[in-house]
Structure 1
């Protein structure tokens, strides 16, 4: 089943500051809902273990993530695939970060996912509402990180063409 998502999130930081949070694997690990672990394999590749629940289905995914395009501080694209017992997904996502007139920033994002297995059997409506909630939680947690003044260091960049998923 193919699913499309999009949205915006306002962040109380300028683009350059927000960019550091979006490209710091340690911050991403703290903000990603259900993240049990996240490790940077290189400056463009991450491995993560994510546990996601939709109703009674609660798979734990081993996820490989590759940053496919990075244009500081405006554009970030990634591809990911995840496998769990009787479930799998492949996704691509893009985030454009723009400066708002008041000096804050707005993240405009889109994602496309191909979901298979038990999760797909739950249907697009169930998956869509859970995904929107998880994305909202991610951006809320990222904003909390920014507001707390937690340090963030930009450590991710685009992969070479031969490294992409």
Structure 2
């Protein structure tokens, strides 16, 4: 099953603070919902174990997450691969990062995921709603944490 999403998050922080945040795997990992464990591999790679509940499919999924910041193009790329319980997820996402005149930053994001296995068979609407909630929550969490005082 293939899923596509896009959206926009206005962050109450200037672009410099946004870049500092998204280049830090530990800070990015803190924005993932339902995380049970994170192992930082290096400055661009981490492994996250996440609690997943999609319809009757409930359990732990393990994801390899690769961050690819491209400040010269004002873009952040993220690649997530992994799964669990016989299901697999392959997600590619990006965000265009644009500073605004009011010292805020606009994140225009998009993502595309391929899901296979039992998680894909629970039904399009259930999986679609869960995936959209997950992605929206990550960007909302990032926005809140980036807006916090340093």
Report which of the two has the higher share of strand.
2
Is residue 55 of structure 2 the alignment partner of residue 55 of structure 1? yes
Unaligned runs of 5+ in 2: none
Matched residues, number: 149
**Residue in 1 that maps onto 2:147:** 147
Structure 1 residue runs of 4+, over 3 Å off?
A: none
Tell me if the contact between 1:49 and 1:61 (Cα under 8 Å) persists in the aligned partners: yes
Query: Conserved in 2, the CA contact under 8 Å of 1:59 and 1:87?
Result: no
Which runs of structure 2 are paired with 1:1-165 in the superposition (5 Å)?
A: 1-67=1-67, 69-72=68-71, 74-149=74-149, 151=150
How far did 1:8 drift? 0.8
Tell me the TM-score normalised to structure 2 length.
0.88
Q: Distance in 2 between matches of 1:146 and 1:66?
A: 20
For the residue of structure 1 that corresponds to 2:58, the secondary structure is: coil
The Cα shift of 1:23 comes to 2.2
TM-score by length of 1: 0.81
Gaps of 5+ in 1: 152-165
Q: Quick check: 2:88–2:116 contact (8 Å CA) kept in 1?
A: yes
Q: Tell me how far 1:114 sits from its aligned partner.
A: 0.8
Is this contact kept in 1: 2:66–2:79, CA < 8 A? yes
SS at match of 2:55: coil
